[in-house]
């Protein structure tokens, strides 16, 4: 039993984190809001140079062959920075699905080539899922992985039609994607396709959860800083117990959500047949920590936090969107109680962390 | 205790409903259900015209005594009016600050001259007012206002210098009531004055502040030798705090009735959408809808009880709990609305940043727990003033 990260994992997180801290200024985020593409090309290059694209790509395809436990801290760092680019979804969700396709032996040549292109930063692949009606930055991708019933399709940009939709978060560029499924584009079907889509949902929800953790921490930090400088009644507002408690409540939720998210990342890799409830727990815990942090951080800022000029809403609105993406709290809580209340639920201590937790596939997963 | 409406009251209800049916139509059709919190920027010209229409029908200031141009309606009748107004989809009132805050304050504390000068314009739906309390360094600590009012002996008028901030609808208002320091040597609640200031003058500069909703409902207001005639101070110089607090008392009074009807229509909207999009099948959503309904009822009964006394705007214990209760309830309603919408809650209705009604509700309710005294300040008031707990220490200014 060991919840700690390795020195390598922490070092990777630190270097990505400090790059983001330096490069993703709030001024540069606001620039993206008015830009055509909504992306910053230099940032995409830097992320690629740091290995973010290739992290989950198998070594056989020129990637780093790492796993979600390696990625979870990076996603947290991206959330902290409120990074607009969709690197986390691209790498974890699309990259993960491509790797799954390769492992399941479907359309190996084409998939291998794409993975190689992704790792090299030459090709961008995105992914949509039935649970999200719209896909962020889909129009910037060369290929999209799309679902049709149980089937999974891999569709080139030329066969896609995009309709841009506006998000409450100006950093997001949502697209409605219209396309026609054909045998030519189908890369998985039936049981296999359904399994892949389920794994995709779990990776998407996990990626969102990890970013929500980062968002929550950043919002609390901003409010804590503000509470030390803003004075009312002749003293810093942060000296008031009521203000301290607003922040302390967030810290408790955030810290208690962390191991849940880490555990989910681990479970997705090690015991994917049991990932549903672990991921649902993670998404719920991180989502509610982020929503509380958004609310309380705004409260601490007073009227200032209600302005467009104050940077806080960059994070607040991202949290709003991500808390609902890849399944909202209702969806994930339903998955948890369905699993919990099933007749043969595997609930004993041996299923918490014990060996059987890895060996057993429970009936909810069947 | 008598918890029913009389036959005359029901007749009054019919009269209100008929008038609204015959008048809130035609040119006014598009403004039905518009202009509420978070939507203040929409149909401003039409809603100003609507104020005048209401006034013509005798439906502004209905709670004011007849001698001041009001209708002298009982609390019951005001309740009924607000119910019918909401049912008909009456638009967000532009004149509510004048009608529900300034009017009652002047009636209670104003001079005969002030009443004559200002009440008719409010009553006619012509003069809109804004509230000049907050300043950059006077938010929760309202008594820390620094705007100065100096009496100029030569011109026999007050000269105002300083800055207000977060002033809602200043850009649409003819007048502003301003709390300013009449005694430059004073600090805190002493040495303040309560002024009635004409916004249309060279000494007043208004700058809109964009909000996170993408619109600008509030403003910065700068006074550079802004003038205010000698007769336009309410109460004596130094007595401003008392008047300012009395006005806030009226804020928790009758003006809450219209607000609750609006809450009801928001809740109805949410229930309707939940039924349509299937969210109502989710047990956790069902429970929260029930909670919202319960909370709104509690609020309603409590404010009826609250209004069964107190004409001078002084705060009673029951009144003190109200702001905290409704603001928290409304904030939860905003969250519920987003959860009912699910992933769709993220989509704007239009570019560049057009929020739908429920998104505006969600964001605006984040401000509900801030303006008019934050939740933290409300709790302090309840604890210290209603319960008499020891006061929290202040800093050294
Ligand atoms: C949408 C909107 C419209 C507004 N319209 C108007 C208007 O028309 N006219 C007008 O005059 N003002 C208006 N205001 C301003 C409003 O009254 C102030 O925002 C409010 O009084 C809080 O002040 P502040 O924003 O300076 O926050 P601050 O006072 O700086 O408070 C920041 C945080 O510290 C907390 N805090 C401060 N002191 C204490 C304490 N002693 N104990 C515990 N916690 C404390 C607060 O609760 C808050 O969480 C509006 C504000 C908003 C958001």
Interface residue B356 vs chain A (CB under 8 A): no
ipTM: 0.93
Q: Which of B347, B376, B397 sits opposite A166 (nearest CB)?
A: B347
pLDDT in tens, chain A (366 residues): 688 999 999 999 999 999 999 999 999 999 999 999 999 999 999 999 999 999 999 999 999 999 999 999 999 999 999 999 999 999 999 999 999 999 988 788 999 999 999 999 999 999 999 998 899 999 999 999 999 999 999 999 999 999 999 999 999 999 999 999 999 999 999 999 999 999 999 999 999 999 999 999 999 999 999 999 999 999 999 999 999 999 999 999 999 999 999 999 999 988 887 899 999 999 999 999 999 999 999 999 999 999 999 999 999 999 999 999 999 999 999 999 888 898 887 777 777 776 666 665 544 443
Q: At a CB cut-off of 8 Å and minimum separation 6, what does A37 contact?
A: A140, A173
Q: Which of A134, A172, A308 sits opposite B212 (nearest CB)?
A: A308
Considering the entire predicted model, what is its pTM?
0.95
Distance from CA of A173 to the nearest CA of B (A): 11
- The 10s digit of each residue's pLDDT in B261-291 is 889 989 999 999 999 999 999 998 999 999 9
CATH code for the part of the protein at B256-386: 1.20.140.10
CB pairs under 8 A between A and B: 126
Residue of B nearest to A327 (CA): B343
Q: Measured in angstroms, how far is the CA atom of residue A246 from the centroid of ligand 1? A: 16
**B76 counts as catalytic:** no
Q: Measured in angstroms, how far is the CA atom of residue A345 from the centroid of ligand 1? A: 50
Please give, one letter per residue, the 3-state secondary structure of chain A: CCCCCCHHHHHHHHHHHHHHHHHCCHHHHHHHHHCCCCCCHHHHHHHHHCCCCCCCCCHHHCCCCCCHHHHHHHHHHHHHCCCCCCHHHHHHHHHHHHHHHHHCCCCHHHHHHHHHHHHHCCCCEEECCCCCCCEECHHHCCEEEEEECCEEEEEEHHHCEEEEEEECCCCCEEEEEECCCCCCCEEECHHHHHHHHHHHHHHHHHHHHHHHHHHHHHHHHHHHHHHHHCEECCEEHHHCHHHHHHHHHHHHHHHHHHHHHHHHHHHHHHCHHHHHHHHHHHHHHHHHHHHHHHHHHHHHHHHHHHECCCCHHHHHHHHHHHHHCCCCHHHHHHHHHHHHHCCCCCCCHHHCCCHHHHHCCCHHHC
Q: Which atom in ligand 1 lies closest to the alpha carbon of residue B97? A: 8
The answer to whether the beta carbons of residues B99 and B61 sit under 8 Å apart is yes
Chain A 318-347, residues with CB within 8 Å of chain B CB atoms: 320-321, 324-325, 328-330, 333-334
CATH code for the part of the protein at A195-365: 1.20.140.10
Interface residue A229 vs chain B (CB under 8 A): no
Contact criterion met (CB < 8 Å) for A169 and B134: no
Please report, for chain B, the start and end positions of each structural domain, with discontinuous segments joined by +.
7-94, 129-244, 256-386
Contact criterion met (CB < 8 Å) for A334 and B331: no
The protein residue whose alpha carbon is closest to atom 24 in ligand 1 is: B139
Residue of B nearest to A296 (CA): B366
> Which chain A positions have a beta carbon within 8 Å of B211's beta carbon?
306-308
CATH code for the part of the protein at B129-244: 2.40.110.10
Interface residue B153 vs chain A (CB under 8 A): no
CATH code for the part of the protein at B7-94: 1.10.540.10
């Amino acid at each position: 039993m060991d919840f700690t990260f390795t020195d390598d994992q922490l070092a990777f997180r630190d270097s990505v984190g400090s790059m983001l801290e330096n490069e993703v200024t709030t001024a540069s985020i606001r620039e993206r809001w008015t830009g055509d593409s909504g992306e910053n090309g230099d940032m995409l290059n830097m992320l690629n140079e740091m290995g973010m694209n290739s992290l989950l790509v198998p070594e056989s395809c020129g990637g780093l062959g790492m796993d979600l436990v390696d990625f979870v801290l990076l996603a947290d760092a991206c959330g902290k920075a409120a990074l607009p680019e969709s690197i986390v979804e691209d790498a974890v969700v699309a990259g993960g699905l491509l790797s799954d396709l390769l492992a399941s032996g479907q359309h190996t040549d084409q998939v291998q080539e794409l993975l190689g292109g992704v790792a090299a930063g030459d090709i961008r692949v995105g992914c949509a899922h039935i649970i999200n009606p719209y896909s962020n930055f889909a129009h910037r991708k060369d290929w999209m992985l799309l679902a049709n019933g149980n089937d999974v399709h891999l569709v080139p940009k030329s066969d896609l039609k995009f309709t841009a939709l506006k998000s409450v978060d100006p950093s997001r560029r949502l697209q409605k994607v219209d396309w026609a499924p054909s045998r030519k584009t189908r890369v998985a079907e039936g049981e296999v396709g359904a399994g892949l889509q389920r794994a995709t949902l779990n990776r998407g929800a996990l990626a969102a959860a990890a970013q929500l953790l980062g968002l929550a921490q950043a919002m609390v930090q901003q409010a804590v800083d503000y509470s030390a400088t803003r004075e009312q009644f002749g003293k810093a507002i942060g000296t008031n117990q009521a203000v301290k408690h607003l922040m302390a409540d967030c810290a408790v939720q955030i810290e208690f959500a962390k191991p849940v998210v880490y555990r989910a990342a681990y479970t997705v890799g090690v015991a994917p047949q049991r990932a549903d409830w672990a991921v649902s727990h993670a998404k719920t815990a991180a989502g509610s920590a982020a929503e509380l942090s958004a609310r309380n951080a705004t409260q601490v800022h007073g009227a200032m936090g209600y302005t467009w000029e104050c940077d806080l809403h960059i994070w607040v609105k991202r949290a709003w969107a991500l808390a609902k993406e890849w399944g909202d709290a209702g969806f994930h809580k339903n998955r948890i109680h369905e699993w919990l209340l099933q007749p043969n639920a595997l609930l004993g201590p041996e299923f918490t962390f014990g060996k059987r937790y890895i060996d057993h596939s429970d009936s909810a997963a069947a | 205790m008598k918890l029913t409406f009389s036959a005359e009251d029901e007749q009054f209800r019919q009269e209100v409903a008929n008038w609204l049916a015959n008048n809130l139509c035609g040119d006014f059709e598009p403004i039905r259900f518009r202009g509420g919190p978070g939507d203040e920027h929409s149909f401003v010209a039409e809603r100003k015209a609507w104020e005048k229409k209401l006034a013509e029908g005798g439906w502004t200031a209905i709670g004011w005594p007849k001698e001041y141009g009001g209708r002298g309606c009982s609390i019951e009748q005001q309740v009924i009016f607000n119910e019918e107004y909401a049912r008909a989809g009456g638009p967000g009132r532009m004149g509510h600050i004048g009608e529900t805050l300034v009017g009652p304050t002047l009636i209670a504390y104003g001079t005969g001259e002030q009443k004559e000068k200002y009440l008719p314009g409010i009553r006619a739906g012509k003069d809109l007012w804004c509230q000049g309390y907050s300043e950059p360094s006077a938010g929760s600590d309202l008594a820390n206002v620094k705007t100065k009012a100096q009496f100029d002996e030569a011109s026999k008028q007050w000269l105002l210098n300083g800055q207000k901030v977060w002033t809602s609808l200043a850009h649409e208002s003819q007048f502003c009531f301003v709390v300013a320091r009449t005694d430059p040597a004073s600090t805190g609640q002493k040495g303040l004055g309560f002024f009635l200031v004409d916004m249309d003058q060279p000494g007043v500069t208004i700058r809109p502040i964009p909000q996170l909703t993408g619109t600008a409902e509030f403003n910065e207001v700068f006074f550079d030798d802004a003038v205010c005639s000698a007769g336009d101070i309410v109460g004596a110089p130094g007595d401003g705090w008392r008047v300012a607090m009395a006005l806030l008392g009226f804020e928790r009074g009758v003006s809450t009735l219209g607000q609750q009807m609006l809450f009801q229509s928001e809740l109805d909207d949410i229930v309707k959408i939940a039924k349509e999009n299937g969210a109502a099948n989710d047990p956790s959503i069902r429970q929260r809808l029930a909670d919202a309904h319960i909370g709104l009822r509690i609020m309603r009964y409590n404010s009826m009880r609250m209004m069964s006394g107190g004409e001078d705007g002084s705060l009673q214990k029951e009144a003190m709990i109200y702001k905290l209760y409704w603001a928290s309830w409304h904030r939860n309603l905003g969250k519920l609305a987003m959860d009912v919408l699910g992933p769709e809650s993220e989509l704007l209705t239009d570019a560049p940043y057009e929020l739908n009604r429920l998104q505006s509700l969600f964001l605006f309710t984040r401000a509900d727990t801030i303006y008019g005294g934050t939740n933290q300040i409300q709790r302090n008031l309840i604890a210290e003033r209603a319960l008499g707990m020891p006061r929290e220490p202040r800093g050294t200014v």
